[in-house]
Amino acid sequence: MNIKIATELDRLFHNSPWLLYDNNKLRHAIQSTFRITLEDVSYNHIGELIDKIDNEVLCNYFSKVWQPQTKKFKYSGLKLIDEINFLKPDNVIDIGCGYNEFKGKINNIIGLDPYNPKADICSTILDFETEEKYDIALCLGSINFGSTDKIVAEVAKAVEITSPNGLLYFRVNPGHSHEAVESNWISFYNWTPNFIINIATLLNVTILDLRNDSNNRIYFVLKK
C-alpha cells in the first residue's frame, strides 16, 4: 500500500466527509489532488481505492513523463549488454523494461512492463503468468515502489521465474524521489544493503555483487 496516498486520501475524507458518498465529487478531488484521471472510484474497502490511485499515478508518470537514463549508470547500464551476452543465456527477461532499450542488444531478451507500449508483454511482475524459467532476470529500477510486503513479493516472483543457477541483476533506489512533479505521490522504497542481505537470506539466493552505482542507486546481483 502507498502510505503517502493513504495519508492524503484520509486527509481529504477528514476535511470533506461527503466525498465518501459522492463518487462524482470524489473523482474530481482525486484528479485535482493526485494529478490523474480516475474514472472508476468505486471500492469495497479503502485499500482498493488507494491501489487504484497508486497504479494510475505510476502509469501516468512512467508512460508520459519518465525518460530512461541507462547511459548514466556505471554498473547497471550499457555495461550489462556485453556482460550478459558473454554468458550466452537461452532467455532473458527484463522486468519493468520501460522503453525496452535492451531489445536487439541483449540476445534472447523479452521485455515486461505494465505501462510502456514498447514492452513485449504488458503486465506487472506479480500478474505475469508463465511456466518458463529465465536464465537471467533484469530488475533495473523497476522493483522500487510501495511497501515492504509488495517489494518482497515482487522480488520473490522474479526469483521464482528464474532458472536454477540463474542470475538476477538489480538496480534499486534507496528512497530518493524524482524531480518531476508527476512523481510526487510515488512511494519510492528505501532500499538498504541490510535489507538486500535479509531478502537474499529469506529467498535462499546468493549475493554475488553488491555496490553503490551512479546517481545514488544500489547495484546488486543474485544467484538462484
80-91 pLDDT, tens per residue? Answer: 999 999 999 999
User: Domain spans of the chain?
Assistant: 3-64, 70-223
Indicate the pTM of the whole model.
Answer: 0.94
Please provide the average confidence, as pLDDT, over all residues in the chain: 96
**Residue 91: how many CB atoms within 10 A of its CB?**
16
CATH hierarchy code of domain 70-223 = 3.40.50.150
Q: Which residues pair with 93 in a beta bridge?
A: 110, 137
Distances 128 to 96, 131, 144, 178, 205 between C-alpha atoms, Å: 11, 10, 17, 27, 21
Helix (H/G/I), strand (E/B), else coil: 193: helix
**Residue 170: how many CB atoms within 10 A of its CB?**
27
CA angle, residues 166, 171, 176, in degrees to nearest 5: 155
The answer to whether the CB of 112 falls within 8 A of the CB of 97 is: yes
Q: Reply yes or no on whether the pLDDT at 139 is more than 90.
A: yes
CA–CA gap between residue 24 and residue 180 (Å, rounded): 28
